[in-house]
């Protein structure tokens, strides 16, 4: 192991401040040399928001906020009015988001949720746990990462290679 040179490591409050762009540049340069196919596609393909609201009469009773990028649907937030839960609204939101993602060319879906939130909900709709971060909230609860293949060519076994 090489001896580390005598460097000064400092805190920086603004990640866009002086010197920080160099870090981003070095990572981009490395990624371009290591995976030019991904970088070409990633920079050419935009990330598109996918926002759905469920209305009952004139009231919003649920919603899903997500985005699509390349072959992935990433669900950020989904919630249903507590008085309307258990009536299929969440499942309908999820199904519509997945259909729209497939229409946009997505093969996979991803969501993260706390273990006390909705992992069982997503598992009922075909999502499987791909990873877990223990004690994510420093209160003993894990964050779970779930994935689903949306199309036959998007098999989970391909994701786990």
**Domain-by-domain residue ranges, the chain?**
15-44, 45-159
User: C-alpha angle with apex 41: 36 to 43, nearest 5 degrees?
Assistant: 95
- How confident is the model at residue 109, as a pLDDT? 98
Tell me: pLDDT of 160 over 50.
no
Taking the C-alpha atoms of residue 1 and residue 89, their distance in angstroms, rounded to an integer, is 57
Out of 3.10.105.10, 3.40.50.720, 3.60.15.10, 3.40.630.30, select the CATH number for domain 45-159. 3.40.630.30
Of 41-50, 99-108, 135-144, 150-159, the range with the lowest mean pLDDT is: 150-159
**Taking a C-beta distance cutoff of 8 angstroms, is the pair 141, 102 a contact?**
no
From residue 73, give the alpha-carbon distance in Å to each of 43, 58, 115: 17, 29, 21
Tell me: pLDDT of 159 over 50.
no
> Tens of pLDDT along 54-113?
999 999 999 999 999 999 999 999 999 999 999 999 999 999 999 999 999 999 999 999
The SS3 of residue 37 is helix
Chain-centre distance for alpha carbon 116: 18
- Residue 12 CA neighbour count, 13 Å, CB half: 11
Q: What is the pTM of this model?
A: 0.79
**Taking a C-beta distance cutoff of 8 angstroms, is the pair 48, 69 a contact?**
yes
Q: What contacts 29, CB < 8 A, 6 or more positions away?
A: none
> Tens of pLDDT along 1-58?
788 888 888 888 888 888 888 888 888 888 899 988 888 877 777 899 999 999 999 9
């Amino acid at each position: 192991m090489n001896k580390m040179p005598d460097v000064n490591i400092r805190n920086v409050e603004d990640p866009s401040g002086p010197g920080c762009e160099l870090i981003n540049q070095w990572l981009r340069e490395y990624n371009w040399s290591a995976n030019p196919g991904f970088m070409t596609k990633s920079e050419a393909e935009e990330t598109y928001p996918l926002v759905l609201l469920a209305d009952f009469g004139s009231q919003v009773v649920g919603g899903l906020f997500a985005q699509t990028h390349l072959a992935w649907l990433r669900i950020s937030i989904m919630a249903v009015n507590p008085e309307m839960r258990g009536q299929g609204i969440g499942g309908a939101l999820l199904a519509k988001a997945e259909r729209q993602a497939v229409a946009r060319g997505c093969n996979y879906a991803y969501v993260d949720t706390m273990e006390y939130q909705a992992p069982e909900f997503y598992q009922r709709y075909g999502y499987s746990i791909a990873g877990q971060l223990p004690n994510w909230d420093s209160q003993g609860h894990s964050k779970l990462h779930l994935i689903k293949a949306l199309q036959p060519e998007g098999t989970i076994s391909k994701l786990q290679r």
